[in-house]
């Protein structure tokens, strides 16, 4: 089943405890979205209202290396097991 999400009015929520590598992944995501779509995603530390993209480190998740991207009605969640995997999850 294909789920279409309208993220034109979305904002990105970045966990305040992200490492420098993960923070760079967030900056890369914001840059790539703007480059490819012309949409400048605002970044905050709390969800607020409307569509949201959440980037955070997952604890107790799967194998030693891995990331997960999940979607619901108005949420895209990107979870990485560690710095490197968060970067892969955000990936261009």
Mean pLDDT per 10-residue section of the chain, whose length is 92 residues: 77 88 89 91 85 82 75 87 84 70
Predicted local confidence at residue 63, as pLDDT: 63
- 57: β partners: 80
| Span between the terminal Cα atoms of the chain, in Å | 24
Residue 30 has a pLDDT of 92
Q: Domain for residue 3, yes or no?
A: no
pLDDT, position 92: 62
Q: Which of 70, 72, 69 is nearest to 88 (CA)?
A: 69
Say if 5 falls within a structural domain: no
In a domain, 73, yes or no: yes
d(CA 89, CA 18): 14
- Which of 56, 75, 54 shows the shortest CA–CA distance to 5? 75
Residue 43 within a domain: yes
Provide the domain count of the chain: 1
pLDDT value at residue 81: 84
pLDDT, position 6: 82
State whether residue 39 is helix, strand or coil: coil
Determine, yes or no, domain membership for 80: yes
State residue 61's pLDDT score: 58
Q: Is there a domain that residue 6 lies in? A: no
Q: Both tokens of residue 22?
A: 């993960």
Domain of 77?
11-90
pLDDT at 89: 86
Residue 16, domain CATH: 3.30.379.10
Give the H or E element holding residue 13: strand 11-14
Can you read off the two tokens belonging to residue 56? 């955070």
pTM: 0.80
pLDDT for 34 = 92
The answer to whether position 2 is within a domain reads: no
């Amino acid at each position: 089943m294909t789920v279409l999400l309208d993220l034109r009015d979305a904002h990105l929520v970045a966990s305040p405890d992200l490492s420098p590598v993960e923070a760079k992944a967030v900056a890369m995501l914001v840059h790539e979205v703007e480059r490819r779509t012309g949409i400048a995603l605002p970044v905050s530390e709390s969800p607020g209202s409307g569509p949201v993209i959440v980037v955070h480190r997952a604890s107790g998740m799967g194998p030693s290396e891995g990331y997960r991207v999940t979607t619901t009605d108005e949420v895209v969640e990107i979870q990485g097991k560690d710095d490197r995997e968060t970067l892969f999850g955000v990936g261009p």
